[in-house]
Amino acid sequence: MSTDQQSNEGRKGILDFIERVGNALPDPATLFLIGAVLVMVVSHIGFKAGWTVQKPGIAAVTTPVIDSGTGEPVTHTRMEVVKRVPTLVTDKDHETGAVTARIEAVTNAEYEMVENDKGELVPTLKTKRIDQDVKVVSLLDREGVNWVFHNMVKNFTSFAPLGIVLVAMLGIGVAEKTGFIGTLLKAMMLLTPQKLLTPTVVFIGIMSSMASDAGYVVLPPVAAALYKSVGRSPLVGLAAVFAGVSAGFSANLLITSLDPLLSGLTQVGAQLWEPGYKVNPACNYYFMIASTFMLTLLGWGVTAKLVEPRLARKSALEGGPSPLTDEDRAAQAMTPGEKRALVQSVAWTLLVTGGLLALILVPHAPLWKSPDEADARWPEALVPMVAIFFLVPGVVYGIITGTIKSETKSDRLDAGIAKLMAHTMADMGPYIVLAFFAAQFVEFFNHSNLGTMLAIVGGEALQSADVHPVLVLSLFILVVCAGNLFMGSASAKWAFFAPVFVPMFMKNGISPELTQAAYRVGDSATNIIAPMNPYLIIILVFMRKYMPKAGIGSLISLMIPYAVIFLIAWMLMLSIWYFTGQPLGPQGGLHYDNPMLN
């Protein structure tokens, strides 16, 4: 046996071992339940032990209000007498329940004149850095258990991926069950050469971040069905597109809604050390463009050299390819009726697209961003827009082909559409169950403050390391990767990390923009194997359609090659970028130098 063959067998053996171990774990719903219970136990241990860390924060600079008659500071008790309002401040000891009162001086905030982006001097609130004690909140004491029960329903209903997935699937499910998506796949198969199918799928996955999280829902089932239709393992298509959507989430050729979201949090962290510091939302743009092309090529290579060969030796029930039958080949050919329905459905798709764009671009339209609004309106409306985008052509296709009536046995169009939606929601039942337990675990972890404390402790460990900035950034990326084990949301993690790492690295000469770029590398590359990625559940549901016995181990072993290679290559790329000294984007310098703070 050659060295290359031995190497390939070794890799297969490792991945198969990971799959076996992972699949031996309890059901994902059980894992989240166990995790939630562990958080409760650890939170109580930490509370009793008095675990405390300090987190840097921002407070307004204020001055006491002086009584002109007495020359003494005006206090809240004085205000109570004048206004007849009980404004005495009280403190409650969480452990003993004892309530104590304290008198506070009435203060006025101080302002200073700061130049804005237009060169105008505007009054800006003065701020100062403060250290805040972060303590563990017990989930097993009287108040903690009360919080658990009172918030269990809220945790579930406010679990962001739940609404995104279910609303989007109302439209996507109709488009799938009427046959519109299947026929569209046939057309895509005819237009895309098989040799370029994988890079095209990875690239589309990366670009899907323009639509926020919609790519997680829309693309995996489409890619899996497309690969199956050409005789290749459907899991290859699912893996390639999931790698693009999730591991390449931060990369794109365009500015997405994630850029202003992250830059806003970066700016908050930067202002802990330099009040008034501004972060351009496009500060990582050049780096993200280069990352898009790099990840597309890497995704193509990993799929062709590692993922597809491993699945090719498996049976169809284990996720391997299933031989094309005469029926499959006949199904690939488009009938005249399908062609006619597809053309008209695509025409309606273009009309819907034009209407949705008009809502966004036409001045004074409902989703148009006026000059005096800070944030765009359309990102918050994206999920219903995706549902409508698929629903309309799906209904048109179903009417022309008659599949709405044939699939639902209903004579009424509206009843047929409602039944198709109900069938889709029934298919999503396993996801809804998993989402309930995942939501509890995430909220328990956040409420207990354990996530915040882990971020701060990790940051302090990096601060004490007197090493080269590239090594510091590399260690930070690994900390972020570890953070993915506990927090799935990119914005939620950065909300925890930014106030800790951004000012810490500024002190050591690393720009906030570079810290943000490093965060995006660590957050994106390991998303596809992060247990706290809420969309891992829906990918597993799609996977089980073709591999009924698939478990978490199956999914993780499928995606590990992408995560490892993407992470290593991306870290090398960021290091090379640092040494070349090129900006990461507009106003995206690499170094921070403010002598006033040294």
SS (H, E, C) 457-471: HHHHHHHCCCCCHHH
Q: Could you tell me which residue, 98 or 389, shows the higher pLDDT?
A: 389
Pairing of strands 99-102, 107-109: unpaired
pTM > 0.85: no
Look at residue 423 and tell me whether its pLDDT is greater than 80: yes
Task: Tell me the pLDDT band of 279, cut-offs 50, 70 and 90.
Answer: confident
- Tell me how far CA of residue 371 lies from CA of 249, 362, 363, in angstroms: 29, 13, 10
Look at residue 137 and tell me whether its pLDDT is greater than 80: yes
Over residues 422-433, the mean pLDDT reads 84
Over residues 522-533, the mean pLDDT reads 82
Give residue-wise pLDDT tens across range 219-264: 788 788 878 877 788 899 899 999 998 888 888 887 776 787 788 7
Round to whole Å and give the CA distance between 534 and 156. Answer: 12
Contact call for residues 506 and 472 (beta carbons, < 8 A): no
Residue among 190, 181, 192 at smallest CA distance from 219: 181
In the chain, what are the domain boundaries?
A: 3-38+153-597
Q: What is the pLDDT of residue 83?
A: 37
Give the highest mean pLDDT range of 344-358, 369-383, 431-445, 541-555.
344-358
Compute the mean pLDDT over every residue in the chain, rounded to the nearest whole number: 78
Task: Tell me the pLDDT band of 4, cut-offs 50, 70 and 90.
Answer: very low
Q: What is the pLDDT of residue 486?
A: 61
Round to whole Å and give the CA distance between 536 and 472. Answer: 30
Q: Could you tell me which residue, 398 or 134, shows the higher pLDDT?
A: 398
Per DSSP, what are the bridge partners of residue 131? Answer: 56
- For the ranges 107-111, 348-352, 579-583, the lowest mean pLDDT is seen at 107-111
Task: Tell me the pLDDT band of 43, cut-offs 50, 70 and 90.
Answer: very high
Over residues 6-23, the mean pLDDT reads 53
Q: Could you tell me which residue, 190 or 206, shows the higher pLDDT?
A: 206
Round to whole Å and give the CA distance between 217 and 181. Answer: 13
Say which residue the tokens 């407070």 belong to. 59
